[in-house]
Copies of this chain bind each other. A is one copy, B any other.
Amino acid sequence: MQITINIELMDGPSLQHQIFESIRRQILDGHLKTGSLLPSTRDLSQQLGVSRNTVTLAYNRLIVEDYIFTRKTVGTFVNEHLPESFPVPEETSSPDQATGELHSLRHPVLFKGKSQDVVNPNRRKLDIDFWVGRPDPHTFPTKAWRRILLKNLSIAGSSLTEYSNPVGILKLRQAIAEHLGPARGIKASANQIIIVNGIQEGLNLVSRLLIKEGTQVVTECPCYQGAAYTFESYGARINPVPVDNAGMDVEKLPLGQTSLAYVTPSHQYPMGGTLSLERRLRLLNWASATGAYIVEDDYDSDFRYNGSPLMAIAGQDRNDCVIYMGTFSKSIGAGLRLGYLVMPKDLVEPAKTVKTLMDNGHSYLDQAIIADFISSGFFAKHLRSIRHTYLIRRNTLVDSLQKHFGQISLSGLDGGMHIAWYLPKSFPAANEVQALAEGIGVGAYSMESAAACHLCYNECSDRIIVLGYSSLNEGQIREGIARLAGVLQLKIK
């Protein structure tokens, strides 16, 4: 029995490929049954108006891939060994029924959870965007980067083609260890350092080590969404501890068994407070008494404007209970995707295993460049330069706010790349302010939109506007706040 094969030849793929693909699809769709006879190459070539050789080549490929076979002097057939019934494509059954059936049968998605937004979904609507955590693109050290990159590319050898140590290349881990002593007061060996894709991957690594369904975890409140959502996704019960201007209120830490307390002591996210020394030590005491680990997220500590940077809690830790997390996302750029953990000695081995299981390590070239960038002194110079730039921007932002709104209440001024503004009582709620600002092309954010979650609601929850200033120049900052003042004046009761 001869079967009509309808092939519409199109531009694009080769004729041979189109014939191959069309017959293959018809076999998979069940339109060409197993064992059925195909037209001869001569007939098909005439039918399609293509050379016989083209059809022969398509048939040969179908034979190689076992879709069809040839019986000498008899003809070419669809392979008889293929299963007689194929999975029914959804479009051939009645759609509703098919979908219903398939979905009830299909193994369910077991993951339940949410994720943070690191890219502003509305960025294209805005002229002036106070979105948080964006280094200024003009500060990227392109020239030094290019030079170090070309050098490393030319000497890379097998480092580009082969796997390297999943926890990071040694020269980067050494450079970080040496940087952390003077910069953050942390004494760590390269062996304790694990290179990660960024703090977000670090949070997953820590979660895999320490969290199972029902494990208690302490977070700040409000807290960075990326952390809270990650812990929750591994089954953690979150116990939020409120923060004030001096960071987490450690008197309110729970007494029960806790796996870890996640803190942002240099510049609390999003409120911006610095955890006081007294509280740091009490937090260490608490960790020692309860057996909890402290997870110190030091995301933007490179920028300290008043006084020298406070030493990290990891540098005050005498009991090997602090997991320190650092990143190059704020100090160089988030497009690099590199950060690091400093693990307590007892956790180094299991952390290496988890990291290897997670992803076999990071881009060799990026690691080598950052290592050289630190070791050569460029990194320290780069930090001094952008610290100066960001300080001027912070001052411009504070001045502009004061000029337009008079006496205002701000927090987070001592460092970092953003501040939190407590809205006066006469102002609308934060999400309304955000919407008004968006209407005039200005991005200004409620806590929720700024990737913070407020687990223990209080009267401040909808009274905070978060303003990132690092990627806006002074003119943009002044213009943005002026526009905001213009639209808010109409709304202030």
Residue A71 interfacial (CB < 8 Å): no
Are A17 and B182 in touch, CB under 8 angstroms?
Answer: yes
Q: Whose C-beta in chain B lies nearest to the C-beta of A287?
A: B87
Residue A29 interfacial (CB < 8 Å): yes
Residue A161 interfacial (CB < 8 Å): yes
Choose, from A143-151, A418-426, A476-484, the stretch at the interface: A143-151
Residues in chain B near residue A154, CB distance under 8 A: 142
Are A284 and B86 in touch, CB under 8 angstroms?
Answer: yes
Residue A215 interfacial (CB < 8 Å): yes
Q: How far is the CA of A317 from the CA of B90 in the complex (A)?
A: 11
Residues in chain B near residue A364, CB distance under 8 A: 335-337
Are B137 and A359 in touch, CB under 8 angstroms?
Answer: no
Residue A21 interfacial (CB < 8 Å): yes
Are A161 and B334 in touch, CB under 8 angstroms?
Answer: yes
Residue A185 interfacial (CB < 8 Å): yes
Residue A159 interfacial (CB < 8 Å): yes
Residues in chain B near residue A153, CB distance under 8 A: 142, 145-146, 149
Q: Whose C-beta in chain B lies nearest to the C-beta of A205?
A: B111
Residues in chain B near residue A44, CB distance under 8 A: none
**What total of chain A residues lie within 8 Å of the partner, measured CB to CB?**
131
Are A110 and B212 in touch, CB under 8 angstroms?
Answer: yes
Q: A86-B284, A335-B164 are in contact. Are A310 and B65 (CB under 8 A)?
A: yes
Q: What is the distance, in angstroms, from A153's C-beta to the closest C-beta of chain B?
A: 6
- The secondary structure that dominates the A interface is loop
Q: Which of A142, A230, A359 has the most CB of B within 10 A?
A: A359
Residues in chain B near residue A105, CB distance under 8 A: 288, 290-291
Residues of A participating in the B interface, judged by any CB pair closer than 8 Å: 13, 17, 21, 24, 28-29, 61, 64-67, 79, 81-83, 85-90, 102-103, 105-107, 109-111, 113-116, 118-119, 133-137, 139-140, 142, 145-146, 149-150, 153-154, 156-166, 182, 185, 196-198, 200-201, 204, 208-212, 215, 226, 229-230, 233, 257-260, 276-278, 281-282, 284-285, 287-288, 290-293, 307-308, 310-311, 316-321, 329, 332-338, 346-347, 350, 352-354, 356-366, 471
Given contacts A87-B287, A161-B333, 9 further A-B contacts (CB under 8 A): A90-B318, A109-B210, A118-B360, A137-B160, A140-B160, A159-B335, A162-B334, A163-B334, A200-B357
Q: Can you list 20 residue pairs at the A/B interface with Cβ under 8 Å?
A: A24-B311, A28-B316, A66-B276, A85-B285, A86-B285, A90-B318, A103-B346, A105-B290, A111-B209, A111-B354, A115-B166, A116-B357, A140-B160, A146-B150, A198-B360, A201-B359, A204-B359, A335-B365, A337-B364, A365-B366
